[in-house]
């Protein structure tokens, strides 16, 4: 690919920022601390502890990575504008699409690295507790979480070009955390509303990503009764994530492409 | 062969609240290969806006700006351009070497070339031996020197420098002037804006003046020399701008 080196160079600068600014360490440390606490609680029998550890760790892994990704992604473009660091970058023979792609790849690399760290800790903990690891479901969960991070990144980029970085972070996290509740709420409301209300609920369902679809932690937790998802379901979820990521990404690029700097 | 810079009837406006403000109106000029051209004007006259339109950061309402014959929005036109922004901060969490590696890579330089050029570029701007220093430890003047190094890293044929001496102390300005003289002698095309009119006078083959968004005068070196016998460029500039205003 013609611009591969440029994308890697920009992505590297994002990862350097995440490492050197140390904010991400706070999130990782907090996650590890809570995981350690879950691990050391002595109020359950061994079977109960394994389940408790599994549930807490899987939920924390997803939540902390989502927070880290959102905070990192929403400030990538606005900070470049604000500090005017974008000028020497775009003064090179680099199209704006390559710039935005490099930034997204960088955020995803940071997400992947922090999630890989959490998964490693989870596996070590499970190994120590002699808990059974449902490998199939676990890897599917990890894969879907990564797709979710891509979706969150492109959504955060789009939001950061529409509203202030603080508002974008709040909205991105609100969408992430409310996704589960909204899914159930929309179903209940659908029964209670008429044509206009239902049309609005349809619009909401299709316009906003359903992050809850990418969370298999409940299945991993109860792996004794759940089999891994079929290939067709995994394929459909992959397509869903890619389509939404692409839509948000194209939206972000369309705004950025014509933005005067 | 296309001229490094061509500006034709360029008009650029930007939004200020609900209004649109015209910053550059019907500006036309060309910078030929090997020329050193100064771009002067009062604050808010439209110098930086013109330069940003040339770099593809702002979009023309009318007319066109071209680099090496390519429209400003075409990234390929910037292949041979080194640019120093009016105000730029550089990533405080990076080291000087990492920053120049990033910019050099984006300019298409290979790793082996970067290994040679980074120490040389830093040496050239008086930052030799500071490769491994974090940029958060750099003073304003050092950041400006680093800005010049990043503009030079790919050894471009055309240098576009916006407010070159901003933030530099007298020694830094002297070093910069020597560097520009050397680059001009090497045959590079230089287009720069500056408020230091003595610097412009001593370096340029030609001076373009802009006032209230309009190009109001172009003066060649010969004319500059003739002016220099009677008055300084500063007095000439002030008189020209006043005449335009009246």
Question: Most B CBs within 10 Å: which of A11, A89, A91, as the mutation test of the B interface?
Answer: A91
Question: Most A CBs within 10 Å: which of B75, B103, B151, as the mutation test of the A interface?
Answer: B75
Above 80 in pLDDT, residue A23? no
Residue that is written with structure tokens 């596996």 in the block = A123
pLDDT band at A55 (very low <50, low <70, confident <90, very high): confident
pLDDT band at A204 (very low <50, low <70, confident <90, very high): confident
Q: What is the pLDDT of residues A95-149, one digit of tens each?
A: 999 999 999 999 999 999 988 988 898 888 888 877 778 888 999 999 999 999 9
Q: Smallest Cα–Cα separation from B224: which of B211, B210, B243, B207?
A: B207
Per-residue confidence (pLDDT) for residue A246, from 0 to 100: 96
Per-residue confidence (pLDDT) for residue A203, from 0 to 100: 83
| β-bridge pairing B62-67 and B5-16 | antiparallel
Domain ranges of chain B: 1-80+157-246, 88-156
Residue A226 in tokens:
């759940």
Dihedral in degrees, nearest 10, Cα atoms B192, B198, B199, B204 = 60
Instruction: Kindly provide the b/e burial profile for residues A33-63, where b requires at least 16 CB atoms within 10 angstroms of the residue's own CB.
Output: ebbeebbeeeeeeeeebbebbbbbbbbbbbb
Question: Most A CBs within 10 Å: which of B106, B150, B155, B166, as the mutation test of the A interface?
Answer: B106
Grouping H, G, I as helix, E, B as strand and the rest as coil, residue A34 is helix
Per-residue confidence (pLDDT) for residue B164, from 0 to 100: 83
Q: What is the pTM of this model?
A: 0.89
Domain ranges of chain A: 4-258
Q: Enumerate the residues of chain B whose CB falls inside 8 A of the CB of residue A17.
A: 91, 93
Ranges of beta strands (E only) in chain A are none
Per-residue confidence (pLDDT) for residue A147, from 0 to 100: 95
DSSP-derived secondary structure for B58-112 = S--SEEEEEETTEETT-GGGGTTEEEE-SS----TTSBHHHHHHHHHHHTT--HH
B108·A93 Cβ contact <8 A: yes
The separation between CA A164 and the C-alpha centre of its own chain, rounded to angstroms, equals: 20
pLDDT band at A45 (very low <50, low <70, confident <90, very high): low
CB B125 within 8 A of CB B149: yes
B14: closest chain A residue by CA: A260
Q: Smallest Cα–Cα separation from B190: which of B29, B27, B34, B6?
A: B34
What backbone phi and psi angles, to 5 degrees, belong to B76?
-65, -30
- B1-80+157-246 CATH pick, 3.40.50.1370, 3.40.50.300, 3.30.1490.20, 3.40.50.12280: 3.40.50.300
B151: closest chain A residue by CA: A88
Distance CA A29, CA A201 (A): 39
Q: What is the pLDDT of residues A157-174, one digit of tens each?
A: 999 999 999 999 999 998
Q: What is the pLDDT of residues B218-237, one digit of tens each?
A: 988 888 778 777 777 778 88
Q: Enumerate the residues of chain B whose CB falls inside 8 A of the CB of residue A13.
A: 91, 94, 98, 102
Above 70 in pLDDT, residue B42? yes
CB A43 within 8 A of CB A101: no
CB B180 within 8 A of CB B37: no
| β-bridge pairing B36-40 and B189-193 | parallel
Q: What is the pLDDT of residues B163-218, one digit of tens each?
A: 888 878 888 888 888 889 999 999 999 999 988 888 888 888 899 999 999 998 89
Assess: ipTM above 0.85. yes
pLDDT band at A1 (very low <50, low <70, confident <90, very high): low
**Could you tell me if B75 lies within 8 Å of chain A, comparing CB atoms?**
yes
Report in angstroms the alpha-carbon separations of B105 from A7, A107, A162. Answer: 10, 20, 30
**Could you tell me if B117 lies within 8 Å of chain A, comparing CB atoms?**
no
DSSP code of residue B136: G
């Amino acid at each position: 690919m013609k611009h591969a080196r440029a994308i890697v160079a920009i992505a590297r600068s994002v990862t350097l920022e995440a490492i050197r600014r140390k904010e991400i360490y706070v999130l990782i440390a907090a996650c590890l601390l809570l995981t350690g606490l879950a691990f050391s609680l002595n109020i359950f029998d061994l079977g109960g502890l394994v389940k408790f550890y599994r549930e807490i760790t899987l939920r924390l892994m997803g939540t902390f990575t989502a927070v880290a990704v959102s905070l990192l992604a929403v400030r990538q473009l606005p900070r470049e504008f604000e500090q005017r660091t974008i000028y020497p970058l775009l003064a090179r023979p680099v199209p704006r699409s390559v710039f935005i792609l490099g930034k997204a790849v960088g955020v995803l690399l940071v997400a992947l690295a922090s999630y890989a760290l959490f998964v490693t800790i989870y596996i070590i903990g499970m190994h120590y507790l002699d808990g059974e690891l449902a490998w199939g479901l676990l890897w599917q969960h990890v894969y879907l979480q990564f797709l979710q991070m891509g979706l969150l990144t492109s959504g955060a980029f789009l939001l950061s070009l529409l509203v202030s970085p603080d508002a974008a972070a709040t909205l991105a996290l609100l969408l992430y955390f409310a996704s589960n509740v909204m899914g159930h709420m929309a179903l209940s409301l659908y029964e209670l509303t008429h044509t206009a209300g239902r049309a609005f609920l349809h619009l909401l369902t299709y316009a906003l990503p359903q992050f809850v679809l990418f969370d298999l932690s409940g299945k991993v937790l109860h792996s004794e009764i759940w089999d891994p998802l079929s290939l067709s379901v995994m394929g459909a979820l992959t397509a869903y994530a890619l389509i939404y990521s692409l839509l948000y990404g194209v939206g972000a690029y369309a705004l950025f492409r014509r933005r005067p700097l | 062969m296309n001229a490094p810079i061509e500006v034709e009837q360029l008009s650029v406006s930007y939004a200020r609240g609900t209004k649109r403000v015209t910053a550059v109106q019907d500006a036309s000029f060309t910078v030929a290969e090997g020329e050193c051209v100064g771009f002067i004007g009062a604050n808010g006259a439209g110098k930086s806006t013109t330069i940003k339109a040339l770099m593809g950061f702002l979009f023309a309402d009318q007319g066109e700006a071209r680099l090496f014959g390519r429209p400003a929005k075409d990234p390929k036109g910037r292949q041979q351009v080194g640019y120093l922004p009016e105000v730029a901060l550089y990533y405080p969490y990076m080291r000087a070497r990492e920053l120049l590696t990033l910019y050099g890579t984006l300019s298409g330089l290979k790793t082996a070339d970067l290994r040679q050029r980074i120490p040389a570029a830093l040496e050239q701007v008086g930052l030799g031996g500071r490769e491994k220093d974090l940029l958060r430890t750099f003073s304003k003047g050092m950041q400006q020197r680093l800005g010049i190094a990043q503009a030079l890293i790919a050894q471009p044929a055309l240098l576009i420098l916006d407010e070159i001496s901003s933030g530099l102390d007298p020694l830094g300005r002297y070093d910069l002037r020597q560097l520009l003289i050397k680059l001009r002698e090497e045959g590079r095309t230089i287009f720069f804006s500056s408020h230091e009119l003595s610097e412009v006078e001593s370096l340029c083959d030609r001076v373009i003046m802009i006032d209230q968004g309009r190009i109001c005068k172009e003066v060649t070196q010969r004319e500059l020399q003739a002016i220099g016998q009677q008055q300084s460029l500063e007095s000439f500039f002030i008189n020209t701008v006043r005449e335009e205003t009246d």
